[in-house]
């Protein structure tokens, strides 16, 4: 029987590593939160991390744009686009194949890729959480920016199916799930640089209460209006919340206009 040994979520904007000391009174708090999350990842003794993120037209384009795609390669290389982190991270092909089979059995027909490269939405969190990279990474792409998007409910249910699939694995594999994205930010729009702290704290409050279901009452038009197109990435947080099925604990949250985004860093209590 497999073990879902850790669930977490974090923002992923490239400025985190390209301009790490912007507004030090705020950024130092956030870097310390990532260090604490990384220590928890190391302590969980994971055999692999399912890293749930999106893509910004580096790997996927209009010739092929899935709702969900699981990377099943031996290793995955970062794009290093626009000065973001590059390099290669170890994959988990055998475990990825089992996850793909289990999710298919549970009604999720994910695409799969043997050559999936990773943009900053994967590589920035790995730069801040080296224990996750050390464990080995199974990347799970979620479409968060090209309509039609998977619904919020579908993303929450994907997390639940991941939990069931992990627990049905043979042996005693210890798997972590980390969602990366958001929180409020406007990408390539007149409000670029704005942050909606009320939206961010409202989301975190619901997750801290273990009430991810309440987020499903929101629609994309509301999210776009209140928190920007970048906030559509909360889908990755819902995958992590669905997998954990327990309340979040917030390591840190800060509005960070210097990085053009509201930064959230959370773990989740994994339900027994």
Q: Which residues are catalytic?
A: 120, 185
Side-chain half-sphere CA neighbours of 164 within 13 A: 15
Nearest residue to 177 (alpha-carbon basis) of 107, 255, 92, 252:
92
**Buried (b) or exposed (e) across 232-241, using 16+ Cβ within 10 A?**
bbbbbbbbbb
Q: Which helix (H) or strand (E) holds 95?
A: helix 93-105
181 neighbors 53 (Cβ within 8 angstroms): yes
Q: List residues bridging with 78 in a β-sheet.
A: 118
- Report whether the peptide linkage leading into residue 183 is cis, meaning its omega lies within 30 degrees of zero: yes
User: Encoding tokens for residue 59?
Assistant: 């790997």
C-alpha–C-alpha distance, residues 215 and 75, integer Å: 34
Number of helical H runs and strand E runs in the chain: 10, 10
Residues 6+ apart with CB under 8 A from 63: none
Nearest residue to 144 (alpha-carbon basis) of 55, 262, 259:
55
The burial class, CB within 10 Å (0-12 / 13-18 / 19+), for 148 is exposed
């Amino acid at each position: 029987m497999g073990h879902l040994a850790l669930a977490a979520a974090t923002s992923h904007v490239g400025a985190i590593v390209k301009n790490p000391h912007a507004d030090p009174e705020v950024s130092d708090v956030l870097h310390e939160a990532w260090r604490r999350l990384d220590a928890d990842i190391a302590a969980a003794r994971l055999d692999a991390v399912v890293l749930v993120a999106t893509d910004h037209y580096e790997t996927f384009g209009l010739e092929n744009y899935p709702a969900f795609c699981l990377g099943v390669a031996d290793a995955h290389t970062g794009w290093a686009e626009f000065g973001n982190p590059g390099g290669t991270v170890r994959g988990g092909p055998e475990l990825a194949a089992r996850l793909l089979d289990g999710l298919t059995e549970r009604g999720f027909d994910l695409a799969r890729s043997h050559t999936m490269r990773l943009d900053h939405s994967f590589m920035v969190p790995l730069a801040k959480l080296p224990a996750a990279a050390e464990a080995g990474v199974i990347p799970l792409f979620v479409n968060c920016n090209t309509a039609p998007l998977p619904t919020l409910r579908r993303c929450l249910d994907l997390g639940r199916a991941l939990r069931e699939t992990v627990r049905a694995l043979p042996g005693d594999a210890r798997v972590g799930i980390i969602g990366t994205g958001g929180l409020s930010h406007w990408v390539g729009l007149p409000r670029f640089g704005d942050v909606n702290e009320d939206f961010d704290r409202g989301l975190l409050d619901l997750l801290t209460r273990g009430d991810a279901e309440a987020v499903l009452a929101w629609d994309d038009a509301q999210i776009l209006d209140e928190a920007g197109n970048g906030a559509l990435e909360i889908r990755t947080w819902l995958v992590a919340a669905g997998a954990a099925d327990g309340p979040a604990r917030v390591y840190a949250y800060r509005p960070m206009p210097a990085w053009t985004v509201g930064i959230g860093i959370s773990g989740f209590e994994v339900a027994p």
